[in-house]
């Protein structure tokens, strides 16, 4: 059933049947720092544009007609942007810096290709950013979940890539997501700040791979205090028995936190097969990684439900 356009402030339609033909135009016309949420419906189509949700574009709801048919795509990559050693952070197809952004049923793609270098599809530095039923397609560095002290939530999303395809320093929970490896490499590269109690938390996820992929690590530390936990998830046979890699820096064994709890599947090796500096959580320790504790631990219980449970209307 097609969505009722009356439920949205703006409608974007690449074929000309809406208020705008480009997503960026709708975002740019949205009120800065609005008191009420701004809802944008994106009709099915392929949108070849670089979309920026700026820090003043808070409370944006961006909703696609369906993730399979509503696609934002671009092909910038490290060498093509030519911005020096930090070029990776200019390659995004979609950048989100506005707090309290919510997205649903969209595909965001970096189509630079397997032979390209770092090429980000989604770059998120916003706090309280939530993504539901989205698809993030790319190769190396597909999803940058960044920003010190910010919290992000991914529910029922699909993320694919080759190397470090979920990376950054945000506190981010992935629930019911599929992480698909396209090469023998690493899923995560966390750069969790030292003072943050959590980094990337994967709960009830599926780690899958292309048929030819057979040797993938759950993660390697981008910075010295990387923190990644994988709980009650299904790990395919492509996950290496060692589980984790130290990026050839044994000095980080005492500073990083990599943890697992009640994972299953052929890649869920026994603790004695994992690297010695990985942790198999006890039930009590695993409770610390409950979504509400990771993302909303400071919320006043008297206030309405947590921000990450509020669906896009």
Residue 309 in this model has a pLDDT that exceeds 90: no
Query: 140-149: per-residue pLDDT in tens?
Result: 999 999 999 9
The model's confidence at residue 5, banded by pLDDT at 50, 70 and 90, is: confident
Element (H, E) at 168: strand 166-168
Percent of the chain topping pLDDT 70: 96
Average pLDDT over residues 10-33: 97
Could you give the residue numbers annotated as active site?
Answer: 141, 164
Query: 89-136: per-residue pLDDT in tens?
Result: 999 999 999 999 999 999 999 999 999 999 999 999 999 999 999 999
pLDDT of residue 228: 98
Which of 192, 72, 197 lies closest to 138 in space, CA to CA?
72
- Cα–Cα dist 307/232, whole Å: 23
- Cα–Cα dist 125/170, whole Å: 8
Average pLDDT over residues 270-298: 93
For domain 49-296, the CATH superfamily is: Single-stranded right-handed beta-helix, Pectin lyase-like (2.160.20.10)
The model's confidence at residue 303, banded by pLDDT at 50, 70 and 90, is: low
Using an 8 Å Cβ cutoff, are 180 and 208 in contact? yes
Tokens describing residue 135: 């698809």
**More confident call, 312 vs 115:** 115
- Cα–Cα dist 158/206, whole Å: 10
Average pLDDT over residues 212-240: 98
**Other beta carbons less than 10 A from residue 254's beta carbon:** 8
Tokens describing residue 300: 């006043």
The model's confidence at residue 269, banded by pLDDT at 50, 70 and 90, is: confident
pLDDT of residue 4: 73
| DSSP assigned state of 228 | E
pLDDT of residue 1: 58
Q: Is 144 exposed, middle or buried (0-12, 13-18, 19+ CB in 10 A)?
A: buried
Lowest-pLDDT range of 178-182, 212-216, 265-269, 302-306: 302-306
The model's confidence at residue 302, banded by pLDDT at 50, 70 and 90, is: low
Query: 70-92: per-residue pLDDT in tens?
Result: 999 999 999 999 999 999 999 99
pLDDT of residue 6: 82
Rounded to 5°, angle at Cα 226 from 151 and 250: 180
Mean pLDDT of the chain: 95
Helix (H/G/I), strand (E/B), else coil: 264: strand
pLDDT of residue 304: 65
Lowest-pLDDT range of 129-143, 214-228, 232-246, 261-275: 261-275
Query: 161-217: per-residue pLDDT in tens?
Result: 999 999 999 999 999 999 999 999 999 999 999 999 999 999 999 999 999 999 999
Measure the CA dihedral 206/208/214/220, to 10°: -60
Residue 20 in this model has a pLDDT that exceeds 60: yes
Average pLDDT over residues 20-26: 98
Spatial strand order in the sheet of 186-190: 51-53, 94-96, 122-124, 143-145, 166-168, 186-190, 217-221
pLDDT of residue 251: 97
């Amino acid at each position: 059933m097609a969505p009722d356009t009356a439920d949205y402030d703006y409608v974007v339609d690449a074929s000309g049947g809406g208020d705008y033909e480009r997503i960026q135009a709708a975002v740019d016309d949205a009120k800065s720092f609005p008191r009420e949420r701004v809802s944008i419906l994106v009709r099915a189509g392929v949108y070849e544009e670089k979309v920026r949700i700026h820090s003043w574009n808070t409370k944006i709801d961006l909703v696609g007609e369906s993730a399979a048919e509503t696609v934002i795509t671009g092909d910038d990559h490290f060498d093509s942007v030519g911005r020096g050693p930090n070029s990776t952070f200019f390659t995004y197809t979609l950048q989100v810096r506005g707090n309290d952004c919510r997205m649903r049923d969209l595909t965001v793609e970096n189509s630079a290709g397997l032979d390209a270098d770092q090429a980000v599809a989604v770059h998120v530095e916003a706090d309280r950013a939530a993504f539901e039923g989205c698809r993030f397609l790319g190769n190396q560095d597909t999803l940058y979940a960044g920003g010190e002290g910010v919290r992000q939530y991914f529910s029922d999303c699909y993320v694919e890539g080759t190397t470090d395809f979920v990376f950054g320093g945000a506190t981010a929970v992935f629930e019911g997501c599929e992480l698909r490896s396209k090469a023998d490499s690493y899923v995560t590269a966390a750069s969790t700040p030292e003072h943050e109690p959590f980094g990337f938390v994967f709960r009830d996820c599926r780690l899958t791979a292309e048929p030819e992929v057979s040797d993938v690590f759950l993660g390697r530390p981008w910075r010295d205090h990387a923190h990644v936990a994988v709980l009650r998830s299904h790990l395919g046979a492509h996950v290496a028995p060692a589980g984790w890699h130290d990026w050839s820096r044994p000095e980080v064994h005492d500073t990083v936190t990599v943890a697992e709890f009640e994972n299953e599947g052929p890649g869920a090796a026994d603790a004695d097969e994992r690297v010695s500096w990985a942790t198999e959580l006890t039930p009590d320790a695993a409770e610390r990684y409950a979504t509400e504790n990771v993302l909303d631990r400071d919320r006043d219980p008297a206030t309405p439900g947590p921000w990450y449970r509020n669906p896009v209307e």
